[in-house]
Amino acid sequence: MARDILIVDDEEDIRELIAGILEDEGYEARQASDADSALEAIARRRPNLVYLDIWMQGSRLDGLQLLDLLQTDHPDLPVVMISGHGNVETAVSAIRRGAYDYIEKPFKIDRLLLITQRAIEASKLRTEVADLKERTGGDESELVGVSTGMAQVRSLIEKSAGTRSRVFISGGAGTGKGLCARLLHVKSPRASGPFIEINASLYAPDEIPLVLFGREVRDKGGLRVEVGALERAHGGTLYLSEVASLPMDSQTALLRTLVENKFTRVDGHGPVPVDVRIVSASSQNIAGMMEDGRFRSDLFHRLSVVPLQLTPLRERREDIPSLVSLFVAQLSRMHNLPRFVFGSDAIAVLQGQDWPGNARQLRNAIERLLILVRDQQPVDGTITASMLPSDISEVLPTIGDTDSSAHLMSLPLREAREVFERQYLIAQIERFGGNISKTAEFVGMERSALHRKIKSLGL
């Protein structure tokens, strides 16, 4: 995806020269002759980089004044100063005021291209670092798991990442929707562009238009633009998490944007062209919301060109060992802990849980356990079932499913054994996804004997 560069200089031949060099290298170059036209160009669409002349004749603001304004309104926008002969000291001073670098007239083509590449890469790196500070998962660059469902998800991501098609991810909280969205971006031709994530459920309805589309404010100082998520994601990917929470007017505005590839800021006076791929997700029942008229079906069908369904963890228990290994590696690195290993008995207990919060809940449980055993570390580095927190390791079954059910210890041996065998086999069969051969191998029974036992217990 071509990176957008704005060249601001009062000399047309300089602008044309820089623009020609950059365009020959695949960049998109726009031009402005003074401060006001530069601000208008930035208001139309924020560039990835600005080349700014220090002295501009006939301009309301000189280069340094415009730099100060950009530092206030767009602090993460890289600016390279263009300095003429004799004002290099001024250019160096501009760097202290926030400019990324400077280039001196007459400039060399290789230096121009090198500065351009470095400035854009530095801006991208700052965005990634800021994003990583909000994440606490360490290396979450791949989906792990051996289940058929997870293999299908990986395959779909590989097939669709390289396209421009919009992907709609559905699944419960904690199933990994955000990770899938990020992988779609990282594996796409837009990987060098921004990845912007917006969770619509975190904003009040009247805040959503400002967050998505930005706003234009006109005061005595002129036009001031507050950039929204769509504009920040230009050339990259916008991930709309919990898109079902969008109010109806924002749904309509988003639909118009998808159709026209442009939008209007709040209180704006003109369209803003945008090139962005949208990946959306929801944990809600979108089909039911469309039936109730709470979500536009035409918007959903444009968002869901490629549907991606994530199954809950309880339906892919065979993925739990891989997830545990991943989480232990991440959390040990985060908390500077030894790399513990979970024993087979502990893994079996974890596989026996339903995990309504899915992988996120499992990760939280692992983190809590690693912190609890910090002061009483196992000698061999292996965490056993007996070391699990009580709310996880409470596996002794009761007669029924309610809190008032009698405990096994209150029953005669024969009845207690039957209850235990029933619930034990149910848990093991679920653990191995209904595969009788694997269950028989684990519990130490012949397959035919297990079939007879299942029949005798009425399972």
Q: What domains sit in the chain, N to C, each tagged with a CATH number?
A: 4-136 (3.40.50.2300), 148-311 (3.40.50.300), 314-392 (1.10.8.60), 402-457 (1.10.10.60)
Helices (H), 10-147: 12-24, 35-44, 63-73, 88-96, 109-134
Q: Give CA angle at 125 (78, 272), nearest 5°.
A: 55
161 pLDDT more than 70: yes
Q: Which of 84, 117, 120 is nearest to 102 (CA)?
A: 84
Q: Which residue has the higher pLDDT, 1 or 422?
A: 422
Q: CB of 180 within 8 A of CB of 157?
A: yes
pLDDT band at 434 (very low <50, low <70, confident <90, very high): confident
pLDDT band at 6 (very low <50, low <70, confident <90, very high): very high
Show the tokens assigned to 277: 């791929």
| Helix (H/G/I), strand (E/B), else coil: 86 | coil
pLDDT of residue 393: 56
pLDDT of residue 409: 45
Q: CB of 287 within 8 A of CB of 267?
A: no
Torsion of CA 272, 191, 211, 224, to 10 degrees: -50
β pairing state of 101-104 and 306-309: unpaired
pLDDT of residue 255: 97
H or E element, residue 6: strand 4-8
Using CA atoms, how far residue 342 sits from 83, 88, 148, 364, 452, in Å, is 62, 62, 24, 15, 33
pLDDT band at 412 (very low <50, low <70, confident <90, very high): confident
Q: Using the CB atoms, write b or e for 401-434: b if 16+ within 10 Å.
A: eeeeeeebeebeeeebeebebbbebebbbbbbee
What's phi and psi for 198, nearest 5 deg? -130, 125
Q: What would you report as the CA-atom Rg of the chain, rounded to the nearest whole angstrom?
A: 29
What pTM was estimated for this model as a whole? 0.70
Using CA atoms, how far residue 448 sits from 419, 424, 453, 458, in Å, is 21, 18, 9, 15
pLDDT (average), residues 173-183? 94
Q: At what angle do helices 148-161 and 177-186 cross, to 10 degrees?
A: 40
Show the tokens assigned to 418: 């039957």
Label residue 164 exposed, middle or buried (CB < 10 Å: 0-12, 13-18, 19+): exposed
Q: How many whole angstroms separate alpha carbon 399 and alpha carbon 163?
A: 54
pLDDT (average), residues 391-405? 47
pLDDT band at 353 (very low <50, low <70, confident <90, very high): confident
**Average pLDDT of the residues of the chain:** 86
Highest mean pLDDT among 316-320, 344-348, 388-392, 393-397: 316-320
Q: How many whole angstroms separate alpha carbon 240 and alpha carbon 146?
A: 28
402 pLDDT more than 50: no
pLDDT of residue 184: 96
Q: How many whole angstroms separate alpha carbon 394 and alpha carbon 390?
A: 6
